[in-house]
A = this chain, B = another copy of it.
Amino acid sequence: MLTRSEENYLKTILHLSEETQKPVSTNAVADKLSTKAASATDMIQKLAAKGLASYYKYKGVKLTTKGTREALRVVRKHRLWEVFLLKELHFKWDEVHEIAEQLEHIKSPLLIERLDEHLGFPKFDPHGDPIPNANGEVVTIPTTTLSILNPGERCRVICAKDSSSDLLTYLDKIDISLGVEIEIMEFHAFDSSFSIRVEGAGPITLSSKVAENIIIERL
């Protein structure tokens, strides 16, 4: 049986190794969990001892098949609870993550299958992230971010890369939500910001940081 802390570490390592196949650094894990490198080293060694991660001193950490399976279980729970909170309890998309961070640790396999069924087997969470199925299978979504587009191109928002309340509240404020269409007007080389137009509304400016956190599909 995994502890809450072990589950949080597994999930973090999974997310950090999502893009690249390379091992994840101790510092990256510690930063993501707002803890210290020494604590991360301890836990990584513990996960390795349990066969959930492979680890060589100073070389970073990777999840084993078993570790990946456990991490995906937690991610599944997290995202299903997010859907529940948004759809049934009317929380906003920037409020669900924090509560799901607790709910994801509830231990009851039956509970999560019942919840999935109750919600109508949703495929994506409120931030556009795919929900692993009961067998731990996940669809991979594109990773194209708004930041790589050129003036004149059009796209549709499909996912927010970061589920921090800071980003999501800001996107809400400028009327960017999943599914909206955006047209790139200008790119400003000086600070890598963009002028964009959201679905007929007036043009607005997006910083490079924000643009890098909006996952889109080209239209």
Interface residues in chain A, defined as those with a beta carbon under 8 Å from any beta carbon in chain B: 85, 88-91, 95, 98-99, 102-103, 106-108, 110-111, 114-115, 118
Q: Which residues of B contact A88 (CB under 8 A)?
A: 118
Q: How many copies does the complex hold?
A: 2
Complex CA distance for A102 and B102, rounded to whole angstroms = 11
- 16 extra interface residue pairs, beta carbon distance < 8 Å, beyond A89-B118, A99-B111: A85-B111, A88-B118, A89-B111, A89-B114, A89-B115, A90-B114, A91-B110, A91-B114, A95-B110, A98-B108, A99-B106, A99-B108, A102-B106, A102-B107, A102-B108, A103-B106
Instruction: Report 17 cross-chain contacts, Cβ distance below 8 Å, ordered by A residue.
Output: A85-B111, A88-B118, A89-B111, A89-B114, A89-B115, A89-B118, A90-B114, A91-B110, A95-B110, A98-B108, A99-B106, A99-B108, A99-B111, A102-B106, A102-B107, A102-B108, A103-B106
Query: Considering only CB atoms, which chain B residue lies closest to A99 in the complex?
Result: B108
> How far is the CB of A34 from the nearest CB of chain B, in Å?
17
Q: Which residues of B contact A98 (CB under 8 A)?
A: 108
